[in-house]
A and B are shown apart, each in its own frame.
Chain A
Amino acid sequence: MGKKRSDIYSVEIHGTQDLEKTDKEDEEEKYKNLKGNKKKSKKTDDLKKELDLDDHKLSKEELEEKYTTSISKGLTSARAAEILARDGPNALTPPKSTPEIIKFLKQMVGGFSILLWVGALLCWIAFGIQIAQGVASAFDNLYLGVVLALVVILTGIFAYYQEAKSTNIMASFSKMIPQQALVIRDGEKKEVPAEQLVVGDMVEIKGGDRIPADIRLIFAQGCKVDNSSLTGESEPQSRSCDFTHENPLETKNIAFYSTTCLEGTATGMVISTGDHTIIGRIASLASGVGNEKTPIAIEIEHFVHIVAGVAVSIGVLFFIIAVSMKYKVLDSIIFLIGIIVANVPEGLLATVTVSLSLTAKRMAKKNCLVKNLEAVETLGSTSIICSDKTGTLTQNRMTVAHLWFDDQIYSADTSEEQTTQSFDQSSQSWAALSKIVTLCNRAEFKPGQENVPIMKRVVVGDASETALLKFAEVILGDVMGIRKRNRKLAEIPFNSTNKFQLSIHETEDPNDKRFLLVMKGAPERILERCSTIMINGEEQPLDRERAEAFQTAYMELGGLGERVLGFCHLYLPEDEFPDTYPFDTDSMNFPTSNLCFVGLLSMIDPPRSTVPDAVSKCRSAGIKVIMVTGDHPITAKAIAKSVGIISATSETVEDIAKRLNIPVEQVNKQDARAAVINGMELKDMTTEQLDEILINHSEIVFARTSPQQKLIIVEGCQRQDAVVAVTGDGVNDSPALKKADIGIAMGIAGSDAAKNAADMILLDDNFASIVTGVEEGRLIFDNLKKTIAYTLTKNIAELCPFLIYIIASIPLPIGTITILFIDLGTDIIPSVALAYEKAESDIMNRRPRHKKKDRLVNEQLAVYSYLQIGILQSVGAFLAYFTVYAEQGWLPNTLLGLRVNWEDDYYNDIEDSYGQEWTRYQRTYLQWSGYTAFFVSITIQQVADLIIRKTRRNSLFQQGLLRNKVIWLGIFSQIAIALILCYGLGSVTALNFTPLRVQYWFVAMPYAILIWVYDEIRKLFIRQYPGSWWDKNMYY
C-alpha cells in the first residue's frame, strides 16, 4: 500500500484515510458475509428516515447533564470503563457471519457433490449386501465408495480453500492501522484507541483526522469536514458549534463517524458510538439489501442441472433396462454407480474455480481486485455501467482548464502528467495574471517533496487553490520562492460573504517601492470592483464593450461546467502607501475598488486521459455507460461530453428545443439520444417514467443525484434485464453497490462500507480499469465454455462403456476408478489451460451476452460434445479395447454376451476364440489391460479435443498453435500422467492399470485426427455460412 499512497494527489488526502481505518479484527468476516445475508430488501427510504437525535439542539449544559460528563474535564477513566462495558467498543460490528463449518458443509453438498454422495452411498449399500452374501469382490465397492467420498471431500476442501483465499486477498488489502483519538479524561488529554471511546467522552480533532465517533461540537475553529463518504457531497463543509438546522444531518454542530476533518480544529462530545452512529445504521441497512445470484452462478447451476439430469435419467433408464434384462438388482445398482461416476465431471467445478481465480489474479494486476470469484464473469456480462463522475471518470482534482486574458480564451493542458503549458505566455497580461495566481493563494506544498512530480505533490489547501498553485508551479517554477521574494503584508482569506480573497505584497523589484494588491474571487464580484482592464499589458478603461466581452467569456467557460475565478490587481501608489504603511484587514485601510481586471481562470476536475478511450470501448462492446453524479448538470454534461458518454453528435431534449427554438414539451423525445436528468426530476418520476428514459435514451447522465437515488437507478436498469455494474465510494452508495449485479468500490477514495458491499474494488479508481475487467470477464466466459465443452466430451466416452457393457454383455471396458483418474488426473491441467486461451476475435466488439439467452452451456455445446465428439471418442476408445482383447485371443464376436461367464469367479477355464482356457485372474488382468487401453485412448483423443477446443469459430491455424503455451503444458501433463499411471503404477493392483504395449497408444490416433479434421470442417462451414442451419446448430 505504501507505493500506492505516494500516488495520491493532494485533494485526496482524506481519501487515503479510509485505507487506514481501524477495525482490524474480523475484517475478513465482514467481507465474506455480506453476500450471505438473505433478508429481503428494506425500503431504501429508510435511509432518509428522520433520526431520533436531538443532541444538536441541546445547550452545552444540557449535554453535560445528559451524558454526565464535564466539558472541561471529560469523563473519569472509571466512568468511561463503565460505559464501555455497557455500550461495547466503538466499532462497527461485522455482519453476522455464516460459521466456517456451515460454509464448508455447503461446499460438500453443492453442485455434483450430492450425486457423488448418492454414488458413494450406493457403493456402500452394495458392499453391505455383497459382504452378507459372501461375494469375494465386495471390498471393491467399499473402496470405490470411499474414493467417491474422498473426491467429494477433496474437491469441497479445494473450493472452500479457494474461497477463503480470495477473501484473504481482501484481508491483506485492508490491513489497517489502529486509529487513535485524542480524548480528555480525568481532566487530562490522552491518546486512546478510537475503539475505546464512549458516549460523553470529549475528543479533540484537527485537520486530517478521521472523526472517531458521532460528535456534537462544543468548540470549533475553521473546521471543515468532508462528508462525501456519508452523503456523497464532495464539497468540504464547515463545522461550527452552532445549531443551524433541525435535521441532525444538516446541522453544523455535529460531525459524523468516519468522515474526515479537512482543516481547522474542533472539540466535541461523543454522542454515539459504534453501531449507533449514523454510519453504523447505514451499514446495517446495506447488509439488508438482498443479493442477487451472480450470472455465472446461475450458469453453473444450469450446467449442473443439465449434467445431473443426463446422469440421473440415463442412470434410471439403464437401471430399468438392466432389471428388465434380468440382471440382479444389486448388479443394476452397481451399473447405476458406474453411470453416475462416468457422467459427472468430478474435476470440473474445481477447474472452473481455478480458472476464475486465475482471471481474478490477472484482473488484480490490472487494478481490479475481485472479492467474489464469480464476479469475475459478471463484469464480462455487464450491459450497463452506472459510473460515478468524481474520481472515477475524472482525476478527482481541480485543474486549470482555461484562461481568459487579452480578450482571448486559452486552453490549458489538463492531463495527469502535465509538465509544461503550451499556450501563449508572451503577453504582459499573462505576467500580471500569473503574479496574482501565485501570490493570492494560501495553498502550500507540504515540505520535502522536491523530487515528486508537481502534479503528485501533496498540498495543504483547498481544491481550487491547489489547482492554481500547481498550475503556477508548472509554468513559473518555485512558487514558494516567488512568494518569499514578494513578501505578504496583509491578507483577507476567502469567505462566503465577500466572495473574494485579497492580499498585499511587496514587489520583488527592488526599484519598485509600490505595494501590489492582488485579488481573486467570483468573477462578477471582482469585475464590480474594477474600473480598468488589462489588455496586452496595458491598462484600459473597462467600458461596456469590454464588460460584454468579459460576460461572453464568463458564460462560455461557465457553460463548459467549469468553476471560473476572476483576478485583478492594483499597484498601490508609493506616496499614499509608504514602506511603513500599517495595513489593517479589519478596517480595510486600502482601496478595494477601481482595481485593474487582469483575467479569468477556469478550473474543472478534468476527465482521466484514459477514460474517453475506455468509454468508446464500452460503446463498441454494447455497454451503456450511465453517469450518476451529485454534481451540477452543466458540469456533469460537460464531463460526459468530454469523455464521450454523451457523444459529440447527440443532443438532449433541451438541446433540440434550443436549436429549433421550440418549447421543450414539443420535442419528440425519440429524437434525443442523450438525456441529462436532474435528481430533483428523478425524485418525482414514477417507475414507468424512469423505465421510459432508460429505454429511450442511450446516453444518460444523472446529475444532482443523491446516493440513495443511485439505488433507484440501478433497480430501473435491472428491470430492463440488464446486468448492471455500479461504481461507488460513499457509505451511502453501499445499498446500490449491493443491489447491483456487480458493485465496484473505489480502492483509494472508497469508504470501508462501500468496499464491504462491493464485489470488486478498483485499486486505481480508474474507469478504464473496469473496461479491462470487462474484457477479462468476457474472455473467461468464452474460455469456460471451452473448458466445459472439453470436459463434457469425454464423459460420453466414459459412459458408453457402461451402456454397451449392460446391453451387449461384454467384459467391462473401463473401470470406475480409471474414470476418476481421467476426470481428476489427466484432464485437470488441460482444462485449466483453456483459461489461458486468447480471445478469438475482438470480444470488445460484440454485444454483452443476454442473461437469459446466451447460456454458458447451451444446447449446441451439450449436443455437439455429447453426441458428436463424445461418440467419436467412444468409437476410438472401443477400437483400442477390441484390439487389445483380439490380440490376446478374444475376438469381438466372442466377447459379445460373455459378461456373465467372464465375471464368474468359479469359472476358471473359459475358452477364448482360439480355444485357450483362462482362469478368472488371467481374465481380470486382461480386463485391466482393456481399462488401460481405453484410458489411454481417451487421453489421446482428449489431446485432440483440447486442441479443437482452443477455438469455437476460427481455424486452429488462425488462432495459432503456439500462442497459448499453457495448452502445451496441459498436453504434456496429460500424456505424462497417463505414462506414469500406465508404466509407473501399472503394478499396483488396486489402481487397475497395467503396462500397455506401446502400439496401443496409437490405435485411437486416427480418431484423434478425425476429431480434429471434423471440427475444422465444422468451423469452416460456420465461418463460410454465418446464420445458416449449420451455424445455428453447430456453433456453441
Chain B
Amino acid sequence: MAALNEKKTCSQRMENFNRFVWNPDTGQLMGRTLINWVWISLYYVAFYIVMTGLFSLAIYSLMRTINPYTPDYQDRLKSPGVTLRPDVYGEGGLEIYYNVSDKKSWEKYVTTLHKFLSAYNTTVQHANINCTSEKYFFQKSFLGPNKTKYSCKFTSDMLENCSGLENSTFGFPEGKPCLIIKMNRIINFLPGNGTAPRVSCTAQHDDFSPLELQYYPVNGTFNLHYFPYYGKKAQPTYSNPLVAVKFLNITRNAEVTVVCRVIGTGITSDNPHDPYEGKVEFKMKIQD
C-alpha cells in the first residue's frame, strides 16, 4: 500500500531531524518545550506510580489468597516425574558412557553421586524421624518442631552396596555401576494405592542377555511412609526416598538403552509428550 520511498534528500532529513531535536525558534526540545517535558514527565511518573501501586496491591491480595502449604491446583502434576543420578546429558539425552580402565571417564559420575548423596548422610538427616510403618504416614496436625510436620529419615546407608560408603566408587571401575532413581515430589500424592511403588529397569532392546540387576532398598521399592509429601513449609527437611540400581551384567563395548519405570497405581509412564513422566530412559556404554 505504501511504498517506502520518499523524495527528501538525506541532508534535508538530517536538517529536519536536527530541528526536531532542538528547535531554537520555539525553544522546543524533541517537539516540546522544557517546561512541557517536565509536566508530561511528572504526569507519567504519577501514572506509573499509581500503576505500580495497583499492581502491587493486586499481587499482594493474590498472595493473601494463596494457601502457603499446598498450591491451589496440581492438575499439571498428575503423575510424578522420575530422574536419574548421575544426571549427565550428552547429545542423545542421559548418557552413562565410560571406560573402566580410564579413571577420568567415570570419576565425574562418582563425584556427582557423592554430591547427591551428601544430602542423605546421617548428619543432614538427623532432624528427620525414623519411620518403620509400611503405611502412608498421614499427619493431620503440625506436631513437629516449629509448627511443621515430621519427615521420615532416608539415609544413604539404606542403599547398602550403592551407598558409596563401603564402595566409594559405586562399582564403576568394576563395570557394575550403581545408578540412583529418584521420583519427583508432589504434594499430597499417594503413589501405589497402599502398595509401595517399585522401580523396574529393563533394556529397551533385548538383544543381549536380560539385565541382571540388584535394587537397593530390596525390591527397589519406595517405602510408603515417605508419602504423602506435605510441602516445603510443612516438611522443610523432607528428602525424597531413593532407589539404587546396580547393573551387574552390562555387555561391554555396546550401547544399551535402559528404561527405569516406577510401577505403582497412579503413576503413569505412557505420556507421549513427557519422556520423564513415571520413567527415565538412559543409555549406557561401558568400555574396556
Q: Which residues of A contact B (CB under 8 A)?
A: 106-107, 110-111, 114, 134, 159, 293, 297-298, 300-301, 304, 349, 352-353, 374, 859, 867-868, 871-872, 875, 878-879, 882-883, 886-889, 891-892, 906, 908-909, 911-922, 925-926, 929, 989, 997, 1006, 1010, 1029, 1033
Residue from the list B51, B91, B231, B235 in contact with A134, Cβ < 8 A: B91
Residue from the list B39, B43, B51, B77 in contact with A922, Cβ < 8 A: B77
Q: In the complex where A887-B66, A921-B271 touch, is A908 in contact with B83 (Cβ < 8 A)?
A: yes
> A882-B59, A887-B72 known; 19 other A-B pairs, CB under 8 Å?
A301-B6, A875-B54, A878-B55, A879-B58, A879-B62, A887-B71, A889-B71, A906-B93, A908-B276, A912-B71, A914-B69, A914-B232, A915-B185, A915-B231, A917-B81, A919-B277, A922-B274, A925-B273, A929-B76
Min CB–CB distance B281 → chain A (angstroms): 11
- Can you list 17 contacts pairing A with B, beta carbon distance less than 8 Å? A111-B2, A868-B47, A879-B58, A887-B72, A889-B77, A891-B66, A906-B93, A908-B83, A914-B69, A914-B187, A914-B233, A915-B238, A916-B77, A916-B184, A919-B184, A922-B77, A997-B73
CA A992 – CA B182 in complex, angstroms?
30
Check: B63 CB closer than 8 A to any chain A CB.
Answer: yes
Q: DSSP majority for the B interface?
A: loop
Residue from the list B66, B69, B76, B229 in contact with A886, Cβ < 8 A: B66
Min CB–CB distance B78 → chain A (angstroms): 9
**Interfacial residues of chain B within 187-205, with CB under 8 A of chain A in the complex:** 187
Residue from the list B1, B185, B233, B235 in contact with A917, Cβ < 8 A: B185
Chain B residues with CB under 8 Å of A301's CB are: 2-4, 6
Q: In the complex where A909-B83, A914-B233, A921-B277 touch, is A300 in contact with B1 (Cβ < 8 A)?
A: yes
**In the complex, per-residue mask of B87-130: 1 if CB is within 8 Å of any chain A CB, else 0:** 10101011000000000000000000000000000000000000
Chain A residues with CB under 8 Å of B80's CB are: 917
A926 touches B83 (CB 8 A): no
Check: B17 CB closer than 8 A to any chain A CB.
Answer: no
Check: B186 CB closer than 8 A to any chain A CB.
Answer: yes
Q: In the complex where A919-B81, A919-B277 touch, is A906 in contact with B89 (Cβ < 8 A)?
A: yes
Chain B residues with CB under 8 Å of A919's CB are: 81, 184, 274, 276-277
B72 touches A914 (CB 8 A): no
Residue from the list B6, B77, B275 in contact with A918, Cβ < 8 A: B77
Instruction: Give the residue among B3, B71, B231 with the most A Cβ atoms within 10 A.
Output: B71
Chain A residues with CB under 8 Å of B75's CB are: 888
**In the complex, per-residue mask of B31-50: 1 if CB is within 8 Å of any chain A CB, else 0:** 10000000110011001100
Residue from the list A300, A859, A883, A915 in contact with B2, Cβ < 8 A: A300
Chain A residues with CB under 8 Å of B232's CB are: 911, 913-915
CA A374 – CA B2 in complex, angstroms?
10
CA A887 – CA B77 in complex, angstroms?
13
Chain B residues with CB under 8 Å of A916's CB are: 71, 74, 77, 184-187, 229, 231
Chain A residues with CB under 8 Å of B59's CB are: 879, 882, 892
B76 touches A922 (CB 8 A): yes
Residue from the list A111, A913, A920 in contact with B276, Cβ < 8 A: A920
Q: In the complex where A879-B62, A917-B81, A917-B185 touch, is A925 in contact with B1 (Cβ < 8 A)?
A: no
Residue from the list B4, B51, B81 in contact with A872, Cβ < 8 A: B51
Min CB–CB distance A298 → chain B (angstroms): 8
CA A913 – CA B2 in complex, angstroms?
52
Chain A residues with CB under 8 Å of B1's CB are: 107, 110-111, 159, 297, 300, 349, 352-353, 374
CA A916 – CA B228 in complex, angstroms?
12
Check: B70 CB closer than 8 A to any chain A CB.
Answer: yes
Residue from the list A107, A867, A920 in contact with B44, Cβ < 8 A: A867
CA A309 – CA B100 in complex, angstroms?
61
**Nearest-neighbor residue (CB-CB) of A349 within chain B:** B1
Min CB–CB distance A655 → chain B (angstroms): 42
Q: In the complex where A892-B59, A913-B232, A914-B71 touch, is A875 in contact with B187 (Cβ < 8 A)?
A: no
Chain B residues with CB under 8 Å of A304's CB are: 2, 4
Q: Which 4 A-B pairs have the closest CB atoms?
A: A915-B232, A919-B81, A917-B184, A921-B274
Q: Which residues of B contact A (CB under 8 A)?
A: 1-4, 6, 31, 39-40, 43-44, 47-48, 51, 54-55, 58-59, 62-63, 66, 69-77, 80-81, 83, 87, 89, 91, 93-94, 182, 184-187, 229, 231-233, 235, 238, 271, 273-277
Q: In the complex where A909-B182, A914-B187 touch, is A887 in contact with B55 (Cβ < 8 A)?
A: no
B76 touches A925 (CB 8 A): yes
Residue from the list B48, B62, B81, B229 in contact with A908, Cβ < 8 A: B81
**Nearest-neighbor residue (CB-CB) of A884 within chain B:** B73
Min CB–CB distance A764 → chain B (angstroms): 30
Min CB–CB distance A894 → chain B (angstroms): 11
**Nearest-neighbor residue (CB-CB) of B240 within chain A:** A917
A875 touches B51 (CB 8 A): yes
Chain A residues with CB under 8 Å of B71's CB are: 887-889, 912-914, 916
B2 touches A909 (CB 8 A): no
**Nearest-neighbor residue (CB-CB) of A350 within chain B:** B1
Min CB–CB distance B211 → chain A (angstroms): 23
Chain A residues with CB under 8 Å of B271's CB are: 921
B63 touches A888 (CB 8 A): no
Min CB–CB distance A142 → chain B (angstroms): 19
**Nearest-neighbor residue (CB-CB) of B58 within chain A:** A879
Min CB–CB distance A348 → chain B (angstroms): 11
CA A920 – CA B275 in complex, angstroms?
9
CA A882 – CA B229 in complex, angstroms?
25
**Nearest-neighbor residue (CB-CB) of B271 within chain A:** A921
Chain A residues with CB under 8 Å of B184's CB are: 908-909, 916-919
B81 touches A909 (CB 8 A): yes
Min CB–CB distance A861 → chain B (angstroms): 14
Min CB–CB distance A313 → chain B (angstroms): 14
B81 touches A110 (CB 8 A): no
Q: In the complex where A868-B47, A921-B277 touch, is A886 in contact with B62 (Cβ < 8 A)?
A: yes
**Nearest-neighbor residue (CB-CB) of A912 within chain B:** B71
Chain B residues with CB under 8 Å of A352's CB are: 1
CA A913 – CA B71 in complex, angstroms?
9
CA A914 – CA B236 in complex, angstroms?
10
Chain A residues with CB under 8 Å of B83's CB are: 908-909
Min CB–CB distance B120 → chain A (angstroms): 15
Chain A residues with CB under 8 Å of B231's CB are: 914-916
CA A774 – CA B70 in complex, angstroms?
65
CA A202 – CA B233 in complex, angstroms?
108
Chain B residues with CB under 8 Å of A872's CB are: 51
Chain A residues with CB under 8 Å of B66's CB are: 886-887, 891
Chain A residues with CB under 8 Å of B62's CB are: 879, 882-883, 886
**Nearest-neighbor residue (CB-CB) of A300 within chain B:** B2
Chain B residues with CB under 8 Å of A912's CB are: 71
A110 touches B3 (CB 8 A): yes
Min CB–CB distance A873 → chain B (angstroms): 11
Chain B residues with CB under 8 Å of A926's CB are: 76
Chain B residues with CB under 8 Å of A922's CB are: 76-77, 81, 274, 277
Min CB–CB distance A259 → chain B (angstroms): 39
Chain A residues with CB under 8 Å of B274's CB are: 919-922
Min CB–CB distance B68 → chain A (angstroms): 8
Min CB–CB distance B45 → chain A (angstroms): 12
Min CB–CB distance A941 → chain B (angstroms): 14
CA A110 – CA B2 in complex, angstroms?
6
CA A871 – CA B71 in complex, angstroms?
29
CA A929 – CA B76 in complex, angstroms?
10
B91 touches A889 (CB 8 A): no
B2 touches A879 (CB 8 A): no
Residue from the list A879, A891, A917, A921 in contact with B55, Cβ < 8 A: A879
Residue from the list B4, B73, B235 in contact with A888, Cβ < 8 A: B73
Residue from the list B40, B73, B187, B275 in contact with A915, Cβ < 8 A: B187
Instruction: Give the residue among A301, A875, A921 with the most B Cβ atoms within 10 A.
Output: A921
Chain B residues with CB under 8 Å of A921's CB are: 271, 273-277
Min CB–CB distance A852 → chain B (angstroms): 12
Min CB–CB distance B6 → chain A (angstroms): 8
B273 touches A989 (CB 8 A): yes
